[in-house]
Amino acid sequence: MTDNIVHLVLARIDGAPKGTKGISLFIVPKKRINPEGVLQPNDVDSIGIYHKMGQKATPAMHLEFGGKNDCVGYLLGEINRGLPQMFLMMNGARLGVGMGGIHIASAAYYASLQYAQERPQGRRLNEKQALVEPVCIIQHPDVRRMLFLQKAIVEGGLSLILQCYQYLDLEKVHADQPEIKQHYTQLLELLTPVAKTYGAEMGFIAVNQGLQVLGGYGYTEDFPLEQLARDVRIMSLYEGTTGIQAQALLGRQVVGNQGKSLVKWFEEVAKTVHEAEHSATLSTYWNDLMAAMRNFQEVTNQQFKNAAHGDMEVLLADANLYMEAFGTLNVAWQWLQHGIAAEKALNNAEIQGEDRVFYQSKIETLRFFFHYELPRVQGLFHRLMDTTRLTIFDADAEVLI
């Protein structure tokens, strides 16, 4: 398809410091220009294709560099500064992966919504007459719950990712005002691992619910759900696993910068809450969010106490749970923003028909998120305040068999 392929490769120069501080970034082309100015092979080979669970249309190759000892890499940037350079690329990629999770979940939502509207099965739970016609499954509360959950994840998750892209834009717009730029950079760096993880982890949960809506057909190749379930699974693995994103959040973005970014984040959420305060429809919800935020502050203080002892294993053992709670709070914040916009639209008598239903559906999904999803953070908070350590062992302790 193309004359040449240029790989960006992390590698060590002989004698470089151990660990991540000794990694440099190289440009390694598939073909290099020889002294005569002619393109020649650069000893970069594909030595295998991975047989993956999903994403079958994008082959992943096992590359070998220098198998015949004739591969040249050209240093890109400074020696031993490879990792920070790679992060420049990875930040964009992390948002892209979070978005990928949401895209796939969105496809699953619409496929399962259509199926639920068309599939007749069973009667309403209060229907006493055995002979009445079956209803379409969308009328069953449990099916509706599964559809609402998908919609809440898809639209809330997308909104969080767009919030990050907005910070990215604002960072660029204020490139010549260092203080303002720094403000947006900090918010972006705080939320990037969260948006990636929410899209990946909750995207998978959403697709799984979509598959469930189709019953047995969900498991067959007659419908797209089984493929979507396989395709979405990678999102929590590549561009850094969820475990690594969670450590980056709690270790680097929260404790590592003394909570400065988190303070900015609290201020951003407070702005939304302030806007929502004027609304009677939203009063329960901004109050719920504020109450959860206060609990989250206590939980975060506990993390700082853990960090004060210098024991990183204690601090990071449950970073995933901290990530899960923080992601849920962020999406609750997004839903509150949707609620404000929807309420404004619904107060406008000119908005009618499908548009009106669109905004009503926003309010209903917001209510779903606050009644079904937000309360889950309390269980996570409970565990994060619990000082019993069950997963930290000496290297030679044999506990799991």
Number of residues that bind ligand FAD (CB under 6 A): 9
Confirm whether 277 is a catalytic residue.
no
> 185, 171, 166: which is closest to 334 by C-alpha?
166
Point out the catalytic residue in the list 189, 239, 324, 373.
239
Q: Which is nearer to ligand FAD, 89 or 263 (CB)?
A: 89
Minimum CB distance to ligand FAD, residue 202 (Å):
17
Instruction: State which of residues 23, 28, 158, 234 lies at the interface with ligand FAD (CB under 6 A).
Output: 234
Supply the minimum distance, in Å, between the C-beta of residue 86 and ligand FAD: 9
**Please, which residue, 5 or 244, has the CB nearer to ligand FAD?**
244
Residue whose CB is less far from ligand FAD, 69 or 391:
391
Nearest distance from residue 243's CB to ligand FAD, in Å? 3
Q: Which is nearer to ligand FAD, 7 or 174 (CB)?
A: 7
The contact mask relative to ligand FAD for 360-399 (x = CB under 6 A, - = no) is ----------------------------------------
Q: Which residues within the stretch 236-265 sit at the binding site for ligand FAD (CB under 6 A)?
A: 237-238, 240-241, 243-244
Provide the minimum distance between the beta carbon of 242 and ligand FAD in the complex, in angstroms, as a whole number. Answer: 7
Tell me which residues in 49-88 interact with ligand FAD (CB under 6 A).
Answer: 52, 60
Task: For residue 343, give every residue at least 6 positions away whose Cβ sits within 8 Å of its Cβ, in sequence order, or none.
Answer: 279, 281, 282, 363
Cβ closest to ligand FAD, residue 48 vs residue 215: 48
Catalytic residue ranges:
239
Kindly list the residues in this chain that would bind ligand FAD in the complex (CB under 6 A).
Answer: 52, 60, 234, 237-238, 240-241, 243-244
